[in-house]
Amino acid sequence: MQISKTPKEMEIEFGQQLRNLRLRRNIDQRQIAEQAGVALNAVKNLENGRGATLSSLVKVLRTLGRADWLGTLAPTVGISPMQILKAKQPRQRASKSNEITDV
């Protein structure tokens, strides 16, 4: 998926991917709806890019064995090395002493 696509185009493409995955598994819409515990219309809406609830999407993806897709939508946010460098306090140099010490 490219960022230059409209949200509607992205929804349609995602729905096509869901449909292709379901068909590769040789499952019809009614079966996936029953196994996922969602309404048949929810599956149809997802596959046609018309949307459904997030809950329905999660259930369908889990039933198809692709819950890992959700991780790519919202990856775990960590602190980037650049943020660590920016947040780091600048080093302070030791002050020069005018006293001469005997060694």
In this structure, is residue 103 part of a structural domain?
A: no
In this structure, is residue 86 part of a structural domain?
A: no
Place of tokens 């897709």: 69
In this structure, is residue 2 part of a structural domain?
A: no
CB 80 within 8 A of CB 88: no
Tell me which DSSP letter residue 99 carries: P
- Look up the domain containing 28 and give its range: 7-76
* CA dihedral sign, ordered 51, 53, 59, 62: positive
Return per-residue pLDDT of the chain as tens, 103 residues: 446 889 899 899 999 999 999 999 999 999 999 999 999 999 999 999 998 899 999 999 999 999 888 878 776 767 777 776 777 666 677 777 665 655 5
Per-residue pLDDT, 13: 93
* CA dihedral sign, ordered 32, 23, 61, 45: negative
**The CATH number of the domain where 49 resides is what?**
1.10.260.40
pTM: 0.66
